[in-house]
Amino acid sequence: EQVAMVKSFNVVKGFLNIEIADQYYLNFFNGIKTNAAYGLVSSKDANKAIMVEYSSPNTNKPLHLGHIRNNLLGYSVAEILKAAGHKVYKTQIINDRGIHICKSMLAWKRFGNGETPETTGLKGDKLVGNYYVIFDQEYKKQIEKLVSQGVDEEVAKQEAPILLEAQQMLQAWEAGDTETVALWKTMNEWVYDGFEKTYNELGVDFDTYYYESETYLLGKEFIQEGLRSGVFYKKEDGSVWCDLTDDGLDEKIVLRSDGTAVYMTQDIGTAIQRIKDYPDVSGMVYTVGNEQDYHFKVLFLILKKLGFEWSKNLYHLSYGMVDLPSGKMKSREGTVVDADDLIIEMSNTAEDISKELGKLEDYSELEKKELYKTIGLGALKYFILKVDPKKRILFDPKESIDFQGNTGPFIQYTYARIQSILRKAKIENTDYANLSLNEKEKQLIKQLELFPETVQNAADQYSPALIANYTYDLVKDFNSFYQNVSILGADTETEKSFRIELSKTVASTIKNAFGLLGIDVPERM
């Protein structure tokens, strides 16, 4: 039986060919054209909140290129989950304690002459990062000196005076020494101020923060509980372990023989604490590099063995390294690729390329600056997010800012082109009942129809790449339509109005999709 959806059909060599009626396309289009939030689910399932952890830096140096991938992935996955109808809490756990922080503190105390972010004009995270590098230089000098005096190199690494002093400082911090804790608070505040500026530049945000200094003692009580229930066992030296060999993993230490916690202990404690703090959370996503794949397998399994029902809804959003054409990123030697520097470089590269194209005559200097930043950040974010998270990336700033191909600026340019059409035209007749559609128009409507499903798939797979590549396909279809079909010079007013509305809906969908990737779209370019 033929329904209104089917115009005609035939069978050729066992294949059924169906032609969909134009009216079906038009009915669908009429249903979405005025919905500015098309594809995004507004109703949030309150019982199914998800906590997404990302960023989680150390407080002894600025954010670098690897953190950028982490931040962009975590932020985007959180936005996609929201768009798919989940309530989402964005969080991070800041590694604000440990020997690495003490190294920066000690170097500042010894070589800093009391300088501050205010007196140096440096961002706080940069200043503290500089002292981490100074510590490392001094440490290496001391090792060389000891080796030249005949000390074995491995021994020298353990016994360099500056390292021993940093270890003493950590012990003083753990004992609550007033002066040490005061310096620790001051230098961490400098770093947080610096981080906040970087987060603002990147356009990422957080709902709640956790600090290792507050969570590192959590988890110990659950070790005792696990011992009682037989999930853990004690070795002769007093250390506590979990035997995961039946599950194809190793034995894992969860408490040292001296009673101090390991990373696993506090990760167990922090996970449990988060569910206590946010009882509506039914699952968590951890955005952490793939060198931690094994750690999270173990963590999730231990939480399952401890009997937590929600442990089945934990997901490790694992991702690969980001390399630059000139090699990897290092922080101790001070050759790290700084997130702030990269953001500035992206803006500068966008400026150079925009000037070559020369289309900004009537822009004020401020408007130009804003646009370069929008293009530069759009290029960076898109280049990183269009790749499957698990794959390693070779990031080339120049290649990412190309106004052709599968890039952020190409998609931004298409959006701006549509805005330019909309400024020139007005929609007069919106009764499309008897309109007949050409193939390019049908293809665009088909592509628009896929958007809600793409958002759901991206949420299910925690993959911003699905959104990025969908948007590129939509933009390719629009450009094909634009080159082959006259919009403003259409034969009839009805056709013209329809093509303008179709273009407007494409632009709105580009904006919604790019919003999920944290990318802004410019009205003009």
Instruction: Label each residue of 374-441 as H, E or C.
Output: HHHHHHHHHHHHCCCCCCCEECCHHHHCCCCCCCHHHHHHHHHHHHHHHHHCCCCCCCCCCCCCCHHH
Output the pLDDT for position 328.
52
The model's pLDDT over 200-225, given as tens digits with 9 standing for 90+, comes to 999 999 999 999 988 888 888 899 99
CA angle 271, 290, 49 (to 5 degrees): 35
Measured distance CA(499)–CA(493) in Å, rounded: 10
Which residues, other chains included, contact 177 with Cβ-Cβ below 8 Å and sequence gap of 6+?
A: none
Q: What is the pTM of this model?
A: 0.92
Per-domain residue ranges for the chain? 6-33+342-517, 52-215, 217-337
DSSP 290-311: GGGHHHHHHHHHHHHHTT-GGG
How big is the chain by its Cα radius of gyration, in Å? 28
> How far, in Å, are 143, 241, 314 from residue 309 at the CA level?
51, 22, 10
Superfamily designation of domain 217-337? HUPs (3.40.50.620)
The model's pLDDT over 167-178, given as tens digits with 9 standing for 90+, comes to 999 999 989 999
Nearest to 64 by CA among 316, 370, 285, 323: 323
pLDDT of 329 higher than 60: no
Crossing angle of helices 124-148/99-111, nearest 10°? Answer: 90
Measured distance CA(11)–CA(366) in Å, rounded: 61
Report whether 360 contacts 368 (CB < 8 A): yes
Q: Which residue has the higher pLDDT, 335 or 61?
A: 61
Q: Would you tell me how many other CB atoms lie within 10 Å of the CB of residue 233?
A: 13
Which parts of 306-364 fold into alpha helices (H)? 339-357
Instruction: Name 10's bridge partners.
Output: 17
pLDDT of 300 higher than 80: yes
Output the pLDDT for position 431.
81
Instruction: Look at residue 525 and give its three-state secondary structure.
Output: coil
Name the CATH code of domain 6-33+342-517 (choices 3.30.70.20, 1.10.730.10, 2.40.50.460, 1.20.120.160): 1.10.730.10
Element at 261 (helix H, strand E): none
Nearest to 183 by CA among 114, 95, 94, 92: 114
Strand-pair category, 314-319 with 15-20: unpaired
Which residues, other chains included, contact 158 with Cβ-Cβ below 8 Å and sequence gap of 6+?
A: none
Q: Which residue has the higher pLDDT, 314 or 397?
A: 314
The one-letter code for the residue type at 57 is P
Q: Would you tell me how many other CB atoms lie within 10 Å of the CB of residue 171?
A: 11
Two domains, one topology: 52-215 and 217-337: yes
> What is the distance between the terminal CA atoms of the chain, rounded to a whole angstrom?
51
The model's pLDDT over 14-23, given as tens digits with 9 standing for 90+, comes to 899 988 889 8
- Grade residue 323 by pLDDT with cuts at 50, 70 and 90: confident
Indicate the class that CATH gives domain 52-215: alpha beta
